[in-house]
Structure 1
Amino acid sequence: MNAKSPTGAGLDEVRVFLERYPDAKGIDVVMTDCHGIGRGKTIRRHELESLYLTGRAMPASLFGQDVAGDDVDGTDLVLHDGGGDKRCWPVAGTLGFLPHLNRGQVLLSMYEADGSPFQADPRQALVRQVEIARQSGFTAMGAFELEFYLVDRERDDRGRYQPARYALSGRRSLNRNTMAVDELDEMSPFFDMIYEAAEQLDLPLESVISEYAVGQYELTIRYRDLLRAADDLVVAKRLVRSAARRFGMEACFMAKPFGQEAGSGMHLHLSLNDENGNNLYADLPDGQISPLMLHSIGGIRQTIGETMLVLAPFMNSWRRFASAVYSPASDSWGIENRTVALRIPNGSANTRHFEHRVAGVDANPYLVAAATLGGALYGIDRRCDPGLAAEGNDYAQGRVAELPKSWIEAMDWLETSDFMKEVMGPSLHRAFIAIKRAEYRRLALEVSEAEWSLYGFTV
């Protein structure tokens, strides 16, 4: 078989890589499933060219598995058509090198034999929304923020996970040290490894801060086209996780790993450009907010309830909303206000954009971006009114938005949503619902240690 890659990736990328990294013997080929987990294999150096020439066969059932990798009935992807493979192709521009692994890495996306997109691949859902925007004259631009915890492999004397020791000194701090520069210095060998690798991956990492909880950090990523921004988030998570292991710690991307501490978000910044690169969300000459951005926010407000399972896909995701600290489970919007769901940051008129703050870091970035862009386009098409901007502390207002109140309710909202069926595509929509309901049943049967401690020999 010899076919042209439908992603636009070419052999020039392979030649540059092989010349630049003569000692790279293996390349991790990574496809992102509906949970945001990388599935794939490690190929050898001599196989790289054939990957770009003919693609690579992988089972479609990878998109019908739960988070543990078990097949889920009802997805219509398990043993469908006899369990045959589909063709996976490298994503253009994602072939890079991980120095600390001494291996290459490239992202993959799945296609049918005729080169058409495989509709259950979450990346393809974002590709469709980006193309819909393009047909309307918009180029979607964006960037994600990545919050995470660094956790020690050694548990405390009560068997609980605890913050990782500093990579430089081996000390362990139990203080928040929010935005403390010395905190970053203590972890500098770890972050030095990350930034060094990012340069080889064309991953435009920018600032790093110590966040609002012990052992919590945030990396920001430079703004660029939205599809590549979602790829960046996938690459960044894998980089952080693999680097952490080299220092005897683990990176945790749960939305709420510690009940009394801040949750970890995956804020998405979004704007729309015209074909000449001009920001269509830029303020009007009189300083007023662009009507296009207001309609976009209005569309997201009208559809956000239907997207909540994508923004908060796991049982643990909903723990993040139990505390109002910088994790708004609402549909509110405001200007330079971190207590709202949709925030317009201060900045120059030409760089104006909004920040969607609801998604947890455990969400799939392709689906978050697809749902957000889809909501924005929905609002533009219908000229949706965003309503009044929130003033002051929106948490204190006590306003209750019409949103799902639980994980299982979010499943119901998504299942009956025509909007999300269109954004995700029927195949992915059906599979995602089946997987989440199976995950709910699995966890409903698990009796937790907390239940034993509270009820076991008391009631």
Structure 2
Amino acid sequence: MATANAPSPSGSQLSEAQDFLAKYPDVEAVDIILTDFHGIGRGKTIRRHELEGIYKSGRGLPSSLFGQDVSGEDVDDCGLVQTGGGGDCRCWPVPGTLGYLPHTGRGQLLIAMYEEDGAPHDVDPRNVFGAQVKRAENLGFYPMGAFELEFYLVDQTPDAQGLYHPASYAITKRRSKLRNTMSVDEIDEMSPLFDAVYEGAKHLDLTLETLISEYGPGQYEMTIRYRDLMRAADDVIIAKRLIRTVARRFGKEAVFMPKPFGNEAGSGMHLHLSLAGQDGNNLFADQADGSLSPLMLNAIGGIRGTIGETMLLLAPFMNSWRRFASAMYSPASDDWGVENRTVALRVPGTPGKTRHFEHRIAGVDANPYLVAAVTLGAALDGIEGKIDPGKPCEDEIGEAKAPNDLPRHWLDAIDQFAASEFNKRTLGERFHTAFTKIKQAEYEQMALKVSAAEWEYYGFSV
């Protein structure tokens, strides 16, 4: 049983806290963050003297945090609210995630939830993914990967109509309504903000790499270094909070809603994935004759067969589905191809030992642990079943695609997710039931919201 001063079931070490306190003697508070179903950080801000105690004996938080909708409201029939008397479960540090945010002056620590006997809590999204990582390791595979993040920066204050606009630049204070795709001068005008983001990343063991000005006005993309897939998912949680908190210090807001502007590009969260062997070598590397790895092709085959069932995790909110209104660069499909950005599962064209594939469907609003869980789980199914992915798609951008049987809207995705045996098996029955109920409740709440556009089109004319 994990009790006071017992070994941490997460593998965290007290020395990590002690080293942090010695390195940052002026830090007086630390944000401890548990990631909920929606990818939102729930937790507490603790004082400096409390940090070592979390490494010694964990910290209690209610498991009902996982029974909330995106707004923090309890969903009573999800099976996770006020169970077992409503007591706390114990949360322990995620090793390697204790860091410092210089722009806030506080530390930051990711935590995960465990039962009192030290078993991973079965509905914590990080633990749900962890079960698939363990499955992979039992098969002799070590998942590797990275995520790309697309997002918008907007000014904090809306206009007189309540609408938000792309952020004015940090240097010049002007605002451009042009796309400025991949403009280095646009990045320069926002450089003080991004310099602060990169500075913060140095203190968080977070390697942010390429930054570009994306297709939409005020839209950017940051890539994160390829590494162990579990830590790559942690990196998304850390990076989003870093970007969001820095932006606020500059009078901006970072928007990870995938379609904040109806006529502009949506924001995705592309997952790059491969499997390493026990020797660290990439098992998806090209064959000696230059052909693609059969193991990678089987993994792609497994994922193709489950995309429809998992769309609710890849596009979890009502706004997520606006991103698929235009198929350009937002492939709501189950196809694959080599160096083809119209497909769902893209194999980048660079050949050789670094070969991997890119899952392109998820929006930036998706929970990275859940995206990784179903992607890895389906890939392993494909490998175990030696599933053929079929012929690669060779469609060109703008070319009409053949219809597929993927869900076409949010409610359809909820229904397909609920009926999926793959999701029950991969995510666990209790998680599957709770997530279904929460999304059904969220859909019902959103269905009651009457938009300004409905008043404009229908209010006085029908």
> Normalising to structure 2: TM-score of the pair?
0.98
Match of 1:396, SS state, is coil
Determine which of 203, 223, 229 is the counterpart of 1:200.
203
Superposed counterparts of 1:303-314, under 5 Å: 303-314=306-317
Match of 1:124, SS state, is helix
Corresponding residue for residue 369 of structure 2: 366
Deviation at 1:2, TM superposition (A): 2.4
Superposed counterparts of 1:54-453, under 5 Å: 54-393=57-396, 396-453=399-456
Shift in alpha-carbon separation, 1:73–1:395, aligned structure 2, 3 A: farther
Shift in alpha-carbon separation, 1:59–1:389, aligned structure 2, 3 A: same
Matched AA of 1:69: G
Q: Distance between the aligned counterparts of 2:397 and 2:128, measured in 1? A: 32
Q: Distance between the aligned counterparts of 1:22 and 1:301, measured in 2? A: 51
Matched AA of 2:322: R
CA displacement 1:380-434 (0-9 Å, x = unmatched): 0111110110113165142112211111111111111111111111111111001
Matched AA of 2:370: L
* Percent of aligned pairs with the same amino acid: 63
Give unpaired runs (5+ residues) of structure 1.
none
CA displacement 1:17-53 (0-9 Å, x = unmatched): 0111000000000000000000000000000000000
Matched AA of 1:421: K
Name the Cα RMSD after superposition: 0.9
Q: Distance between the aligned counterparts of 2:145 and 2:369, measured in 1? A: 12
Deviation at 1:73, TM superposition (A): 1.4
Contact between 1:73 and 1:434, CA under 8 Å: does it hold in 2? no
Q: Distance between the aligned counterparts of 2:122 and 2:410, measured in 1? A: 25
Q: Distance between the aligned counterparts of 2:424 and 2:88, measured in 1? A: 25
Q: Distance between the aligned counterparts of 1:286 and 1:306, measured in 2? A: 36
Deviation at 1:254, TM superposition (A): 0.5
Residues 367-376 or 419-428, more deviating: 419-428
CA displacement 1:306-337 (0-9 Å, x = unmatched): 10000000011000000112100000100011
Contact between 2:328 and 2:397, CA under 8 Å: does it hold in 1? no
Deviation at 1:155, TM superposition (A): 2.1
Contact between 1:140 and 1:273, CA under 8 Å: does it hold in 2? yes
Match of 1:130, SS state, is helix
Q: Distance between the aligned counterparts of 1:395 and 1:349, measured in 2? A: 30
Q: Distance between the aligned counterparts of 2:298 and 2:186, measured in 1? A: 41
Q: Distance between the aligned counterparts of 1:278 and 1:379, measured in 2? A: 20
Match of 1:393, SS state, is coil
Deviation at 1:259, TM superposition (A): 0.6
Contact between 1:144 and 1:221, CA under 8 Å: does it hold in 2? yes
Say whether 1:10 aligns with 2:16: no
Contact between 2:395 and 2:401, CA under 8 Å: does it hold in 1? no
Residues 396-405 or 436-445, more deviating: 396-405
Deviation at 1:223, TM superposition (A): 0.2
Contact between 1:295 and 1:376, CA under 8 Å: does it hold in 2? yes
Q: Distance between the aligned counterparts of 1:284 and 1:89, measured in 2? A: 42
Give aligned pairs, total: 459
Match of 2:50, SS state, is helix
Matched AA of 2:6: A
Q: Distance between the aligned counterparts of 1:113 and 1:394, measured in 2? A: 53
> Normalising to structure 1: TM-score of the pair?
0.99
Matched AA of 2:359: H
Contact between 1:312 and 1:318, CA under 8 Å: does it hold in 2? yes
CA displacement 1:237-266 (0-9 Å, x = unmatched): 000100010000101000111110000000
